Chain A
């Protein structure tokens, strides 16, 4: 049973390595009910690895993870009943149609037929995916596959949504809808953990943000707190992000070199 309501997820001193690569290095954070928590960081920072461990999809090595007060390596079934997960790559059965897929999911989750039907109709209509309901998943475009993943994560009204770059591939309208859904979810007391590379989205949506770099959380807090840390009060998240990940100078350097190179090419 789900007991502790104070923190949806708490991660303490989590470390995970693949061979010699330390993908996640001694990180700790908490996600509270009614909070949208953003994970930011350059490619390979360890966001996906962190998320997979919270779900119990990767073996946990060091540190402690509690989801709803439970251990993902032991009580993963109980945890999964209350989580909606959108993975980085939309790996869904390609030889099923969404109809078969959602029948399957609803059967496994033991959901109510008429209630789920209503929700599904609503999501399919608002994400403009109705016409794909009987098409094979293999034939859907990247964005439409992503929609299926998102709907699959929402359909059972989970307490916690864990989304790894959920907006990848979505068109503007669908992205807007998903963002709205996340806001609604939060208003009803649910929590969201999501990773993204779109800094505007993070700035707009997240209550708190953790910036990861090379497996470590190098900064965490609200936008205001982060901008203070970066000595850039009032700046936008992009500047803060580049400053905190020590990439601001190297970006300038790269841009200058790029200009030079392109110009010399034009001349020759």
Chain B
């Protein structure tokens, strides 16, 4: 048996291994160069830290919800609204926050954890003389490590919000005993919540990892299932966030809308307070923040019972999560269904096509089978999905042409998706191969094969996004704006592609798309992003002067783009 401290130290290796494997996977034939880099550059070794901090900050941002809820409870209570109704609405707000926490954790931490849930990174540990139990604990610690910053942030949010509200209002209004109880309860609740959310994350990540499967199984069917479940996952999580946000924003309006009698409210309160998650916690905090005034003992008892049930529920889920972790760290787990049908080869035959078509075919084979290029398939769906969830704002229009804020946001969102597509598409060229490296490749053919994505797929997704608003009052205006901007979409896509190949590739007769000039990778990627956004910004700015101006700008830039294309990738 090793000490926990030692195991936590070992888990660092496993975690790094997981990250490195991912990086190597995407480095492809560039691995040698990548390894040379990583030796020198410390930042390259922790590519996760920025994302970690960002999601921790997002989680910390949730602190405003309970603060706002607690302050509102007090102001409404003193304004003479029925206390049982205040308890009801206040508890709903706090419960909304409690349910928001796991949702945010799932959405933002998922990317860190599902890679660890495939079992891959644990393989080499089994070659070391470490006991089974210890390996399980290493599995647990590795998982913790992958979201440690977020967890700390998450743990602190509720107690912090309580402290802030005490300083702001509660301190002068409720008794010392209630204050102390409130702080203790929030700490307790925070701990239980943390374990609950963490376990939930383990279970969901594992489910997802199973669906996503091992990187080795490059079957097309698996990949389609992967894509569908990713899209489902995104739709559900974005939808849930959207609904919760709306709910949290609308709940305070309920205070003045009491629609049942006080007696009914009391009964509803008691029933809800027994439901372990998220209501029991919401009620308990609310009760204490109200200094137990006008609170029936039954309600207090109900919510305490609810909390006990919540602890029990958490225990169950925690057990389940532990056994999930156990499965991951045990190597025997992998049971692939070996039902693949035998293929008998009858003919060895070569069918040649033009080079551009050959690239297209190769890309298709890779995109539909490989995990690393899964984003290329998902990206186009993200555009209409996004449209489904951004709030509609009919008031804000800019410039004489009356471009709505919503439309501008949409255009920049499309630009972002475009850059991401550029990055993933060009990665195909470096993933794979000494084979490509040794072929006499004409850059023009190579680039040509990427054009359909920007001329076909992205514009289609963009139009589809507009149809998400079919039937609404703004649909006709939207579609005419959308059509006016339609030519700009492929223009910025291709410009972005050319710009990336200019920064990363060698010019003239070399393979441009492969990342040859690999120094300052991060800065260059940022430049590509900025370049694309600025370009879109120019189009948006010009459009403010009217559609005619926009049209001229589009024609001019299309011509410039064509000239650039011929200069950068000349016919041979």
Contact = CB atoms under 8 A, between A and B. Distances in A.
A and B found bound together: yes
Interface of A: 18-19, 55, 57, 74-78, 80-81, 83-85, 87, 89-96, 99-111, 113, 116-117, 120-121, 124, 130-131, 133-136, 138, 149, 152-153
Contacts of A130: 345, 348
Interface in B512-532: none
Interface residues of B, number: 40
Contacts of A91: 28-29, 432-435
B437 to A, nearest CB: 6
Nearest to B372: A95
A109 B439 contact: yes
B441 to A, nearest CB: 6
Contacts, number: 125
A91 B397 CA distance: 54
Interface in B534-557: none
B358 A121 contact: no
Name which of A91, A102, A131 has the most chain B CB atoms within 10 A of its CB: A91
Given A87-B434, A104-B358, 12 more contacts: A76-B510, A89-B434, A91-B28, A91-B29, A91-B432, A91-B435, A95-B369, A100-B361, A106-B352, A133-B348, A136-B369, A152-B435
B362 A100 contact: yes
23 contacts: A76-B509, A77-B441, A91-B29, A91-B432, A92-B432, A92-B434, A93-B365, A95-B218, A95-B369, A96-B362, A104-B362, A106-B352, A107-B355, A107-B357, A108-B355, A108-B439, A108-B440, A109-B440, A120-B348, A130-B348, A136-B218, A138-B217, A149-B435
Contact of B348 (A84, A107, A109, A124): A124
Contact of A92 (B218, B351, B352, B435): B435
B50 interface: no
Nearest 6 Cβ contacts at the A-B interface: A107-B358, A95-B369, A87-B434, A85-B438, A95-B218, A80-B440
A153 B344 CA distance: 25
Contacts of B345: 130-131, 133-134
Contacts of A93: 362, 365-366, 432-433, 435
Interface string B432-472: 11110111111000000000000000000000000000000
B336 to A, nearest CB: 11
B352 A103 contact: yes
Nearest to B351: A103
B442 A121 contact: no
A80 B442 contact: no
A104 B358 CA distance: 5
Interface string B10-44: 00000000000000000011000000100110000
Contact of B433 (A81, A92, A124): A92
Contacts of A121: 348
Interface in B335-374: 343-345, 348-355, 357-358, 361-362, 365-366, 369-370
Contacts of B437: 55, 57, 85, 87
Given A95-B369, A96-B365, A138 B218 contact: yes
B350 A102 contact: yes
B332 interface: no
Contacts of B343: 134-135
A95 B372 CA distance: 11
B253 interface: no
B216 interface: yes
B366 A138 contact: no
B467 to A, nearest CB: 33
A213 B441 CA distance: 34
Main secondary structure, interface of B, reads loop
Contacts of B370: 94-95
Name which of B351, B353, B366, B440 has the most chain A CB atoms within 10 A of its CB: B440
Nearest to A121: B348
B359 to A, nearest CB: 8
Interface of B: 28-29, 36, 39-40, 216-219, 343-345, 348-355, 357-358, 361-362, 365-366, 369-370, 432-435, 437-442, 509-510
Contacts of A113: 350-352
A116 B218 contact: no
A105 to B, nearest CB: 7
A151 to B, nearest CB: 11
Nearest to A158: B438
Given A103-B358, A104-B358, A149-B435, A111 B365 contact: no
B449 to A, nearest CB: 11
Contact of B365 (A83, A100, A133, A153): A100
A94 B428 CA distance: 12
A95 B353 CA distance: 20
Nearest to A112: B352
B216 to A, nearest CB: 6
A240 B345 CA distance: 47
A236 B219 CA distance: 50
Contacts of B358: 103-104, 107-108
Contacts of A100: 361-362, 365
Contacts of B349: 117
A85 B434 contact: yes
Contacts of B442: 77
Contacts of B39: 19
Given A93-B362, A107-B358, A138-B216, A83 B438 contact: yes
Given A138-B218, A152-B435, A117 B362 contact: no
B441 A108 contact: yes
A177 B362 CA distance: 30
A18 B353 CA distance: 40
Nearest to A78: B440
Nearest to B362: A104
B509 A77 contact: yes
A154 B437 CA distance: 15
B40 A101 contact: no
Contacts of B435: 91-93, 101, 105, 149, 152
A117 to B, nearest CB: 5
Contacts of B217: 138
B434 A103 contact: no
Contacts of A57: 437
Contacts of A134: 343, 345
A210 to B, nearest CB: 22
